[in-house]
């Protein structure tokens, strides 16, 4: 393909740049809701759980949201293919806003978990449908440019979320309500604005087709994923080989087996048509989304822990220190979008991006207690560039590899597999961290016990009199050095004498480095697999125009050309050639 092809005249059904930007504004507001919620809640969840007297239950608020958001993602994709994007995107925004309002009114952690589950039902459609709608209105050659705006929204929310969350959670009272409640209520005005823009400007043509609704597949997916996502989030507390864990494994395997049987039975009407996996691009692209999701979320979970625990910075400042990483995502997405638009070639970006992710993880694995923050900020853009080179090109590859009528399924599948990989990666990597950090801290205590600074701290009367040091001093005298509950609440480190705190920081740094090494190994697998990703020619028309051309070909009963391929009725094959 030549670059001149990208500037070819649009088909009669294509939208102007101004129309696309108008629709894009509503889509970005909707995506901003979901992206901001992920980071703003993570920063303030401890304050919220303390106020609702449910610190031990805080994980369920996250787990409930994650389960419903993940399961609803493929449902939105399939149903929007059948009935149109607009009603389901409006529904997703409405459900998310109502869920946010209910979360802001919760009076217990059980209520909050239930309301977060309801909120997740809306979140599942915000990411996937926004990317699908762009696929409907913009040809693949130009799509990467517009999808870059979404990554900019994602990056902006990654920075603003911790800052806003930390500020709101720190307010005792704001406009007559406890400050943390505004963590959820802030979504309401943004959501109302998104609803107004989308309802007014998003009017896409849709051709309804005969179908069966794959309800058995949807139920089987719920049976399969709920226990697996639950054990992924709770396995560290329950024990990975406990009775409850084994029950979750068995029930999840049964549900997935029933899901595959249902998809095979329903064929093209299936929630996730199995025929899509016959294509190498869809299969390898989905696998890459899963593997990169594992490594990506592992890295994104471990780096803030290093900043907050080892370097002792606040959640708000940690969010600001991630600005270079976000800048790398934005730069990577902009460069990949512009080059793909001009050349029509996309495979090079996942290759380079996966390589940068591996290098970024390797650099992170060298972080220690004494590593200055400026070095961390120099390493972060490498990882960000890797993410920017992978996220939108892989979605684009999946969208381009399927028939236009399956655009929603393809896009939601990319999001679905990335979320599943991220959930598994976060669970495994955090399990690695907390299963090794106790031994690492003990080793650090043994190695540093003979140092003059450590011994001086134990003889210092002011250290011994300080209540903040009492639990650690008592544990050292008992021979362990690790107070009970120290791994569940690390806030004591900020008040501990620096000489006594150093073994804790060394232990955490070494365990976090191990997490980065595990993430690097996972991403190295992705780097190998990405070379097998086919590079198919990008379509020259949008999803809507491609579907219109196919419908016209079928209606007239004649063979027409769509994207250079012949569509329409097949010519009869003589009996001798059958």
pLDDT tens string 231-272: 877 777 788 888 888 999 999 999 999 999 998 988 878 888
C-alpha 143/C-alpha 330 separation (Å) is: 16
Sorted by sequence, the CB contacts under 8 Å of residue 353 that are 6+ apart come out as 332, 336, 385, 386, 387, 388, 389, 390, 393
Residue 567 pLDDT > 50:
no
Mean pLDDT of 312-340: 82
Average the pLDDT over 308-328 and give the result. 81
Domain end marker among 270, 292, 308: 270
Q: What is the pLDDT of residue 121?
A: 92
The answer to whether the beta carbons of residues 364 and 303 sit under 8 Å apart is: yes
Is 138 inside a domain boundary?
Answer: yes
Instruction: Establish if 209 belongs to a structural domain.
Output: no
> What pLDDT sits at residue 55?
57
Choose the final residue of a domain: 204, 226, 251: 204
Kindly tell me if the per-residue pLDDT of 545 is higher than 70: no
* Residue 345 predicted with pLDDT over 60: yes
501 and 563 housed in the same domain: no
* DSSP track, 162-209: HHHHHHHHT-S-BTTB-GGGHHHHTHHHHHHHHHHHHHHH--------
For residues 40 and 189, membership in a common domain is answered with: yes
Same domain, 225 and 333: no
> pLDDT-based confidence at 207, cuts 50/70/90?
low
- 201: which 2 tokens? 């400007």
Banded model confidence at residue 1, pLDDT cuts 50, 70, 90: very low
What's the mean per-residue pLDDT of the chain?
80
What are the tens digits of pLDDT across the range 276-287?
888 899 999 999
Same domain? For 433 and 422 the reply is yes
**Which residues 6+ apart lie within 8 Å of 363 measured at CB?**
379, 382, 383
Is residue 241 domain-shared with residue 158, that is, in the same domain? no
Lowest-pLDDT choice from 100-109, 223-232, 233-242, 332-341: 233-242
Q: 574 pLDDT exceeds 50?
A: no
Question: If pLDDT is split at 50, 70 and 90, which confidence band does 402 have?
Answer: confident
Residue 319, CB half-sphere, CA atoms under 13 Å: how many?
Answer: 23
pLDDT band of residue 566 (cuts 50, 70, 90) is very low
The reply to whether 253 and 354 lie within a common domain is no
Q: In the prediction, which pLDDT does 381 show?
A: 93
Count of domains forming the chain: 5
177 phi, psi to nearest 5 deg: -125, 155
Average pLDDT over residues 105-133: 89
| The pLDDT value given to residue 103 | 92
Nearest alpha-carbon partner for 487 in 467, 507, 463, 514: 507
Q: How far is 160 from 99, CA to CA, in rounded Å?
A: 21
Residue 5 lies in a domain: no
- Give yes or no for residue 565 having a pLDDT over 50: no
The pair of three-digit structure tokens given for residue 105, joined into one six-digit string: 């009114």
Does 367 or 480 have the greater pLDDT score? 367
Domain co-membership, 399 together with 529: yes
What is the pTM (predicted TM-score) of this model? Answer: 0.80
Check residues 508 and 480 and name the one with the higher pLDDT. Answer: 508
pLDDT at 251: 93
Residue-level pLDDT at 358: 95
SS3 state of residue 562:
strand
- Residue-number span of the structural domain to which 251 is assigned: 215-270
561 and 524 share a domain? no
In this predicted structure, what is the pLDDT of residue 172? 77
> Would residue 504 count as lying in a domain?
yes
Residue 491 covered by a domain = yes
Q: Domain check: are 30 and 146 in the same one?
A: yes
Evaluate whether residue 437 is within a structural domain. Answer: yes
- pLDDT at position 558: 45
Final residue belonging to a domain, choices 176, 204, 232: 204
Would you state the pLDDT for residue 7?
A: 36
Does residue 6 carry a pLDDT above 80?
no
Band the pLDDT of 573: cuts 50, 70, 90.
Answer: very low
In a domain, 575, yes or no: no
Residue 3 pLDDT greater than 50, yes or no: no
Instruction: For 222-243, give the DSSP string.
Output: HHHHHHHHHHHHHHHHH-TTSH
> What pLDDT sits at residue 539?
74
Domain co-membership, 233 together with 307: no
Task: Tell me: do 442 and 455 sit in the same domain.
Answer: no
Task: Work out the number of other CB atoms within 10 angstroms of the CB of residue 168.
Answer: 22
CATH for 316: 1.20.1250.20
Tell me: the pLDDT tens digits for 29-45? 888 887 788 778 876 77
Over 70: is that where the pLDDT of 201 sits? yes
- Whether residue 140 is predicted with pLDDT greater than 90 in this model: the reply is no
Lowest mean pLDDT among 19-23, 152-156, 310-314, 528-532: 152-156
How confident is the model at residue 362, as a pLDDT?
94
Please tell me whether residues 151 and 231 are part of one structural domain: no
Q: Is the pLDDT of residue 440 over 90?
A: no
Q: Which of 108-112, 386-390, 497-501 has the weakest average pLDDT? A: 497-501
The secondary element (H helix, E strand) that includes residue 561 is: strand 560-562
- pLDDT in the model for residue 487: 62
pLDDT band at 396 (very low <50, low <70, confident <90, very high): confident
Note the pLDDT of residue 12. Answer: 46
pLDDT of residue 249: 92
- Identify the residue whose tokens are 């021979």: 479
Answer yes or no: is 11 within a domain.
Answer: no
pLDDT of residue 352: 95
């Amino acid at each position: 393909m030549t670059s001149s092809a990208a500037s070819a005249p649009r088909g009669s059904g294509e939208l102007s740049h101004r129309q696309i930007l108008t629709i894009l504004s509503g889509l970005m507001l909707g995506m901003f809701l979901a992206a901001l919620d992920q980071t703003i809640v993570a920063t303030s969840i401890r304050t919220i759980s303390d106020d609702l007297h449910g610190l031990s239950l805080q994980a369920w608020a996250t787990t409930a949201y994650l389960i419903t958001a993940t399961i609803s993602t493929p449902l939105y994709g399939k149903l929007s293919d059948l009935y149109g994007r607009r009603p389901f995107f409006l529904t997703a925004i409405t459900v998310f806003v109502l869920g946010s309002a209910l979360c802001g009114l919760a009076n217990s952690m059980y209520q909050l978990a239930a309301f977060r589950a309801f909120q997740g039902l809306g979140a599942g459609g915000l990411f996937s449908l926004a990317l699908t709608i762009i696929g409907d209105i913009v040809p693949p050659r130009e799509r990467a440019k517009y999808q870059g705006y979404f990554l900019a929204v994602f990056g902006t929310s990654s920075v603003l979320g911790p800052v806003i969350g930390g500020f709101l959670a720190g307010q005792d009272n704001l406009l007559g309500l406890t400050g943390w409640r505004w963590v959820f209520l802030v979504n309401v005005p943004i959501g109302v604005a998104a609803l107004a823009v989308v309802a007014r400007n998003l009017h896409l043509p849709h051709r309804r087709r005969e179908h069966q609704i794959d309800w058995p597949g949807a139920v089987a997916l719920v049976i399969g994923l709920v226990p697996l996502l639950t054990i992924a989030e709770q396995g560290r507390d329950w024990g990975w080989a406990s009775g409850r864990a084994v029950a979750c494994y068995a029930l999840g395997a049964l549900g997935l087996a029933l899901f595959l049987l249902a998809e095979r039975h329903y064929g093209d009407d299936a929630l996730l048509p199995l025929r899509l996996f016959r294509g190498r691009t869809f299969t390898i692209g989905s696998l890459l989304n899963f593997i990169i999701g594992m490594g990506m979320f592992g890295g994104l979970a471990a780096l803030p822990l290093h900043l907050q625990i080892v370097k002792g910075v606040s959640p708000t400042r940690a969010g600001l220190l991630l600005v270079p990483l976000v800048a790398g995502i934005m730069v990577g997405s902009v460069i990949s979008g512009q080059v793909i638009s001009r050349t029509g070639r996309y495979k090079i970006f996942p290759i380079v991006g996966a390589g940068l992710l591996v290098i970024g993880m390797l650099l992170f694995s060298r972080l220690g207690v004494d590593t200055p923050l400026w070095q961390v900020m120099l390493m972060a853009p490498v990882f960000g560039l890797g993410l920017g080179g992978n996220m939108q090109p892989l979605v684009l590859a999946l969208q381009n590899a399927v028939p236009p009528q399956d655009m929603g399924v393809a896009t939601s599948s990319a999001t679905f597999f990335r979320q599943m990989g991220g959930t598994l990666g976060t669970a495994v990597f955090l399990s690695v961290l907390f299963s090794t950090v106790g031994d690492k801290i003990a080793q650090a205590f043994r190695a540093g016990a003979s140092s003059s600074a450590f011994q001086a701290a134990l003889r210092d009367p002011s250290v011994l009199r300080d209540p903040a040091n009492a639990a650690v001093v008592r544990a050292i005298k008992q021979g362990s050095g690790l107070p009970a509950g120290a791994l569940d609440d690390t806030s004591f480190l900020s008040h501990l004498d620096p000489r006594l705190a150093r073994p804790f920081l060394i232990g955490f740094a070494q365990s976090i480095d191990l997490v980065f090494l595990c993430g690097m190994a996972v991403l190295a697998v992705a780097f190998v697999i990405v070379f097998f990703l086919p590079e198919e020619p990008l379509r020259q028309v949008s999803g809507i125009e491609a579907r219109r051309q196919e419908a016209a070909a079928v209606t007239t009963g004649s063979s027409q050309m769509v994207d250079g391929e012949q569509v329409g009725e097949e010519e009869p094959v003589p009996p001798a050639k059958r």
